[in-house]
Amino acid sequence: MFWEIFQQARIHEVESTADTARSRASDAMSSAAEVRAALDRLVLVNRAMWEILSKQHGLTERELDDKVEEIDLRDGRRDSRLKKAIRECPRCARTMSLRHARCLYCGHQESRDPFDTVG
C-alpha cells in the first residue's frame, strides 16, 4: 500500500515535470518565431535601404562589403558581431553602463548612437 502511494506520487511528479517542459518548449518556440519575424523585417528594411543608397549615390557591393568589414573589426575581431565598447564618463571618468545614456555616478547625460538601443 505504501509502495503504491509512493509510486503514484512519483508518477504525478514526473507528469508535472513533463507539463513544465512542454510549456517551456512552447514558450521557446514562440520566442524563436518572434525573433525570426523581427529578423525577416530587419533584412527587408536593410535591403530597401541598400537599394536606395546604391541607386541614389552609386555605391557598389564592394564598398558595402568593405564598410561591413570595417565595422566588424572595430572591436578587434572579425567575427560578424559588433561588441559594444565600454565607455568612460567624460565628466567623472567612471565606467558607464552600456544600457544607459546617463552616468549612474554623476548623472552626466551623453548623446547616444541610435543603434545603441538595438540588440
- The H or E element spanning position 95 is strand 95-96
Q: Are residues 60 and 118 in the same domain?
A: no
Checking if the pLDDT of 23 tops 80, the result is yes
Show the CA angle centred on residue 91, arms to residues 89 and 95, nearest 5°: 25
Q: Are residues 114 and 66 in the same domain?
A: no
Count of domains observed in the chain: 2
Q: Are residues 54 and 99 in the same domain?
A: no
Q: Give how far the C-alpha of residue 45 lies from the chain's centroid of Cα atoms, to the nearest Å.
A: 17
Mean pLDDT of the chain: 90
Q: Are residues 76 and 95 in the same domain?
A: no
3-state SS, 30-91, equals HHHHHHHHHHHHHHHHHHHHHHHHHHHHCCCHHHHHHHHHHHHHHHCCCCCCCCCCCEECCC
Q: Are residues 23 and 65 in the same domain?
A: yes
Q: Are residues 41 and 74 in the same domain?
A: yes
DSSP β-ladder status, 95-96 and 87-88: antiparallel
- Band of pLDDT at residue 110, cut at 50, 70 and 90: confident
Q: Are residues 14 and 62 in the same domain?
A: yes
Between 15 and 98, the higher pLDDT residue: 15
Q: Are residues 64 and 93 in the same domain?
A: no
Between 106 and 98, the higher pLDDT residue: 106
- Band of pLDDT at residue 7, cut at 50, 70 and 90: very high
Q: Are residues 70 and 30 in the same domain?
A: yes
Q: Which domain holds residue 21?
A: 2-83
